[in-house]
Amino acid sequence: VFPVQADGTPLCMLEEFIYEPHAYVKLWKHHGGEAEATYIDNVIKERNETWIQLYGGKVSREWMLPKVLETLNHAPNVYEAADRYMEAMDWITWMMTGEETRSVNGAGYKAFYNHQTGYPSKDFFTTIDARMENYVEDKLHAPIKKLGETAGYLAADMANTLGLSAGTPIGVPMIDAHCGVLGGGVTKPGEMMLV
């Protein structure tokens, strides 16, 4: 997860944020947002948000919202400067195609998106922090694409860099461990794979 400008430039690449740790990528294993994850869990319980059951009933410090809230708490200038918060897989796809999209896999698993209900409510984010009232509109808004769809087509400049043909279809990305389940042949109820 990391903050970027409207054109996709990571904030850590800007002179003003070069020494600001919260402007850099926060890997899944960055656990600095533990207090934020606990706080978000408490808000969810107080509000009786039933959608949390889709995620095992508990927020992980490894997901997007605790990492974003950690940045807002410790480096609000980074949060304010960010036009978007991106999952790395969606950012790579954006840079390859020139089209900003989000994978339903990342948006669903890491940012609480649901195709039927969308993201959690504006009221939920306002309860988390009043500065997050427009979090979805301001920091996440982009077309969400399903797995198996084309995210876009390889842009000419990226095709030159990669030595591939411009216009090559680029698939919607998927979280690595989730791909591993399908790649491992685990496709039926009752089967399990540990990654």
Per-residue pLDDT of the chain in tens (195 residues, 90 and over written 9) = 999 999 999 999 999 999 999 999 999 889 999 999 999 999 999 999 999 999 999 999 999 999 999 999 999 999 999 999 999 999 999 999 999 999 999 998 889 999 899 999 999 999 999 999 999 999 999 999 998 899 999 999 999 999 999 999 999 998 887 778 778 888 889 988 877
Alpha helix segments (H runs only) across 137-175: 156-162
CB atoms within 10 A of CB 18: 11
Helix (H, G, I), strand (E, B) or coil at 153: strand
Taking CA atoms, 16 is separated from 78, 81, 183, in Å, by 10, 11, 43
| Radius of gyration in angstroms for the set of CA atoms belonging to the chain, rounded to a whole number | 17
Cβ atoms of 161 and 150 within 8 Å: the answer is no
pTM score: 0.91
**Per-residue tokens: 46:** 């107080």
**Per-residue tokens: 40:** 């978000």
Residues 6 or more apart from 56 whose CB is under 8 A from it?
A: none
Cβ atoms of 89 and 175 within 8 Å: the answer is yes
**Per-residue tokens: 133:** 């009232």
Q: How far apart are CA 168 and CA 120, in angstroms?
A: 35
Alpha helix segments (H runs only) across 11-63: 34-47
